Each structure stands twice: as structure tokens, then as C-alpha cells.
Amino acid sequence: MSLKLFDLTGRRALVTGSSQGIGEALAKGLAAAGAEVILNGRDPDKLAKAADGLRKETGRSVHELAFDVTDHAGVRSAIDGFEASVGSIDILINNAGMQHRGALEEFPAEAFERLLQTNIASVFHVGQAVARHMIGRGKGKIVNICSVQTALARPSIAPYTATKGAVANLTKGMATDWAKYGLQCNGLAPGYFETPLNQALVDDPSFTAWLEKRTPAGRWGKVEELVGTAIFLSSEASSFVNGTTIFVDGGITASL
């Protein structure tokens, strides 16, 4: 009985920004737990390659839904079209995001705007489009990918930190507005993981040495270590968990 709480069989999950990195790993994990997965990205060729790989690895049905998460009208059209032609989206993982590093006093305004659109506005656009259908069904799971920077700041990424703090508060707002309709909206906040987004830091011996010393677990995280929490937040096991953010960070936010 207890294991059935985590079974995603018969559910369909959309993961934004899932052609690589954390999004791809989460999509694989949800598929392994029984979900029918919908991959999303802006590059159709890259998306098709990721979907083909996931089909071969899992033997499951995998959908491709190419749209720009920062385009409100485009998002709504894609989501409404999929719901009408294929079926319900039962789980949404808002994972799409970007990083831009630079001294705050010289940070380019256009880069700041891109961060706002990609990291915050996209969560609103996709979350709203999917929730409209979930509300009608009286159930749904939304998991917004936050960050260790939701709680902490580091030099050169102040705007990114601001966006990830906003995602956590938007998650609280989603839960406050939509829990009454049967939705659970929560955040998953990764620490430092080996991903394409972090490759420059992974390849920097001095940063890796700092991170290993700063993190109680003493190492970088592996993207597969995010899967268990994502399954929990996507399943019946979290039926009364709402508006919270779970940090998966090796203890870095727990330690000075």
C-alpha cells in the first residue's frame, strides 16, 4: 500500500526545459515511476533527440511539446492544444531557467530582463495555462524548480537569486489560490548539481574545492538525486503538502 502512494502510472507529466540537465533527469525519473512524459524545449531538433533517447531507455510513450515558456500566448495555445488533442496534463514540473553571472553594479539590464522572463514569468505563464485545466478536474500537481539561491546569495548572481526567491513566493501564492481546487503546488530547490548550466563551475578546481568544504555532504550533487523528491511531490504521497519548498542540497542551507 505505501509504495502505491508514489506510483505515477496513468498520469501525464509536463517537464519544461527537459531536453537536458535537471529537466531531462526529472523526466526520466517520472517515467520510471510510471508517468507518461511530455518533454518541452524551444529547439525542436534537440527536443526530438532527447525524446527519442527517453523512449529507448524507458520503453514508454514520450510526447514532444515545443514552445517558448516566456511567450504567454504561445504557452496557452500549446497547452490548450495538447489538452484538446491528446489529454490531460496531471503533473507540471516548471523547470526551465537560465543563469547570467556578472558584478551587480555592471549587470546588463537586458540580461536582468531575460532572467525575469525565463525564471519567473515562465512559471506564471505555464503554471496558469496548466492550472486552468487542473482546476476544472479538481486535482493536479505543480512543482516549481527553485534553487539553493532561493535562500542564499553568492557574489555575481544577485539577479538570479532574486528570481529564485520570487519563484518560491509565487509557489506559495499558487498554493494559496489553488489548494481549494484540489491542486498541490510546491517547490523543489536543488543545491549545487553537475549540470550543463553549472559546467564552468564544475570545471573550476578552486570553486569545486570551496563547494566541497562548504557543503556538509562534501560534494556536488548528481541530478538523479533530485528524482525521489520530484516523485514525492508529484504523487499521492504529498496529498496534504502545499506551498512549501524542499531543499535537496547536501545540507548547504543548514550549515554556516
Q: What pLDDT was estimated at residue 1?
A: 56
pLDDT tens digits, 58-81: 888 999 999 999 999 999 999 999
pLDDT tens digits, 189-244: 999 999 887 888 999 999 999 999 999 999 999 999 999 999 999 999 999 999 99
Q: Examine residue 199 and state whether it is found in any structural domain, yes or no.
A: no
Tell me whether residue 192 is one of the annotated catalytic residues.
no
What is the domain-level CATH number for residue 54?
3.40.50.720
Q: Residue 170: name the closest of 193, 141, 150, 148 by CA.
A: 150
Q: Examine residue 205 and state whether it is found in any structural domain, yes or no.
A: no
pLDDT tens digits, 103-162: 999 999 999 999 999 999 999 999 999 999 999 999 999 999 999 999 999 999 999 999
pLDDT tens digits, 148-203: 999 999 999 999 999 999 999 999 999 999 999 999 999 999 999 998 878 889 99
Catalytic residue among 67, 124, 160, 193: 160
Q: Examine residue 88 and state whether it is found in any structural domain, yes or no.
A: yes
> How far is it, in rounded angstroms, from Cα 37 to Cα 55?
10
Q: Examine residue 212 and state whether it is found in any structural domain, yes or no.
A: no
Q: Examine residue 239 and state whether it is found in any structural domain, yes or no.
A: yes
pLDDT tens digits, 12-29: 999 999 999 999 999 999
Q: Which amino acid is at 156?
A: S
Domain membership of residue 249 as a residue range: 3-194+221-254
User: What is the total count of domains within the chain?
Assistant: 1
Q: Examine residue 14 and state whether it is found in any structural domain, yes or no.
A: yes
Q: Examine residue 213 and state whether it is found in any structural domain, yes or no.
A: no
Distances (CA, A) of 247 to 14, 48, 117, 147: 21, 31, 23, 8
